[in-house]
Amino acid sequence: MMSHRVFFLFAYMSALLSLHAADFTVSANVAGRQVKEDSYQFTFSATEANTWIKFQLPAKCTWGAGQTELSITLVKPDAVTFRFAVKAIGPDNALAESDFTSLELKKSESHRFSYAQVGDKAPQELCILSDEAMKSPFTIEINQIKVGDTQIQSSMAWVQNAPVTALPPVLFKGKPFFPLGAYDYWPIGGANKARIDPDFLAAGGNITDFGNLAMPDWSGYEKFAQPTIFANLEKVKDDPQFENVALLIGLGFNLIMDNAENTSGKQGHGSYMIPATGEALAARRKVLTEAVQKISAYENVIGYTMDEPENLIWPYYSAQRKKEWELYKDQDLATCMLEWINSWTKPIIREHHPGAQLMPIIGWWTTYKQTADMYDVLIANTYPGKKADAPEFAADLFTVSYDAAMQVAAVRANGDGRSAIFMPPMFDIWRENTPQYTINEQLYVMFAPIAQGVMGIHGWRLQRCSAAYRKFVIYPAMKEVSRLSEFFLGEWHNELLASDHDDATVEYLLKFKERERLQEGLEDAESKKALALVPDVSHCLRRHADGRYLMLIVNNRREFLPEVRFKCWLEGLPRSMTCNINRSRSVWLKNGEFKTSLKPFEVLAFVFNAK
């Protein structure tokens, strides 16, 4: 997904002409920044075709029988092919025709280009266009822009982002809400699923999973599947504690796939599940139809989910479609998920439970875009591993930001009202000596996805949390998100906030695993260039319906940053602001600017009034 950025610069013209200072702007639908008075760097991430960079010319720029010139230099990687053309806009024929050309760039090698000027009217903009999809990220520098005898330069100034389109809110009972919850909900000390932990509610919990549908021949059917789910739905339908809690119903492993050939002794992920066909498919259609018809009567059921279908089908897929995987990788895997699962489950839900949302947990960020037909709300999950006895901030927590960025980009590209919820880690009971996240680490993995644009947080999973971990880490972190949740439903104004750390400058934010399979034994060891931007510091600006603003700042670095400078373009800003999370942290503002240090993976949230 291309992110639009606009650069507002205070420019002057110098050379043979003597011109007064003028406002000069540069805009692009790729990430960019000014690096010198006459130089601009632009980073092309993996994008669709039709990227552009526009240089708006000063009003007093002379035009005539001259040349327009500019230089392009590759900053990184070592070599790349860049297909582009240079055009004039307003009027469009102010430059001699420039066709698209493919330029072979080598690192640090500069190429100078010259284009004949036509007519006597200067265009409003010079535009560098590319009609080719970018397959891997690269950064170029454009400098020494010369129009006739005039060298275009600009004083160093802040970079202002262009507006970002907000994702739609998730709807519950017809109204927008910010989902905040966990995979489970019942109190410590038992699995009475007709009860909800009051501390979960007090922490702002408003969404949870309520059980998985299964085929009747499953050994746990009576205790865990439809009989128990229906009984509990009936018990909680008039319980005031559940009144504002959205319930998700899961499509269980042996319902959406056939376990007839599973001899592995495993259940779920890692077992050998085959696509249901013939009588097996007919039986599953009947079971799902009957279940959905009953569930549709309960208004608290927000929709249906499934757990990482990529990992579920992988044992069968990898055995049967080796050639297709070699040729098409995740594209073919996504096609199989749509064919084997979505092709029959989705029509049943749409017909028998109108208004219910499809909310699967898609496990691999490489399939987010291709599986659009499977979801109304995409739930993405990443659980950065933390080794036992590891110090605070040793885990690669920043993978949460990358996953969320990939998720939001896919959902925004697919559009059609789709939204996104992120599922961060929320457990300290899994294997022997499972390490606990600290409260600071938990705050990061819950707020970082929000800064990237997700519209809900749904952790995995409460029944793998000890009582102490719930009390001192999970619920306090949930409360901080809950206190600010109304802002996350408000207007987005990211274009009015910038920092001097809006780029990624460390290696671990520039390379990520090609895919994160989230299953032991299926790791992808090779790291490749990031396909989405995770800057050193993420931030967003939201406006509450009552007019107040929230400035959310997240450090994606595991190192301490001694000074980060910020600029906010709102009018009527206060002289100082105090963080709503760490109330000992305050900043002082002057002309919309302030600076602060940031601890590793620190989260700051400032609520204030402004015009």
The fold for domain 5-161 equals: Jelly Rolls (2.60.120)
CA distance 284 to 271: 19
| DSSP designation for 425 | B
**Which pLDDT tens digit goes with each residue over 127-170?**
888 887 666 778 899 988 888 777 777 655 666 676 788 999 99
Token representation of residue 511: 């390379």
- CA-to-CA separations, 154 to 12, 31, 236, in angstroms, rounded: 6, 19, 65
Average pLDDT, the chain: 89
Check pLDDT > 90 for residue 440: yes
**Which pLDDT tens digit goes with each residue over 82-118?**
889 999 888 888 888 778 889 899 999 999 999 998 8
By percentage, how much of the chain surpasses pLDDT 90? 64
Which residues make up the CATH 2.60.120.260 domain(s) of the chain? 5-161
Q: CB within 8 A of 364, min separation 6: which ones?
A: 310, 330, 333, 515, 516, 517, 518
Token representation of residue 120: 């006597």
Question: Per-residue pLDDT averaged across 425-436, rounded?
Answer: 87
Token representation of residue 462: 């409460």
Q: Which residues sit opposite 110 in a β-bridge? A: 73
Which pTM does this prediction carry?
0.86
Residue 329 has φ and ψ, to the nearest 5°, of 50, -130
Closest CA to 358 of 336, 338, 373: 373
Which residues make up the CATH 2.60.40.1180 domain(s) of the chain? 495-501+536-608
Least confident stretch, 33-47, 430-444, 463-477, 488-502:
33-47
CA distance 31 to 21: 26
Higher pLDDT, 516 or 456: 456
Least confident stretch, 40-54, 341-355, 370-384:
40-54
CATH 3.90.1150.10 for the 495-501+536-608 domain, yes or no: no
Check pLDDT > 70 for residue 581: yes
Which residues make up the CATH 3.20.20.80 domain(s) of the chain? 170-489
Q: CB within 8 A of 429, min separation 6: which ones?
A: 464, 465, 466
Return the number of other C-beta atoms located less than 10 Å from residue 97's C-beta: 10
Q: Which CATH architecture has domain 170-489?
A: Alpha-Beta Barrel (3.20)
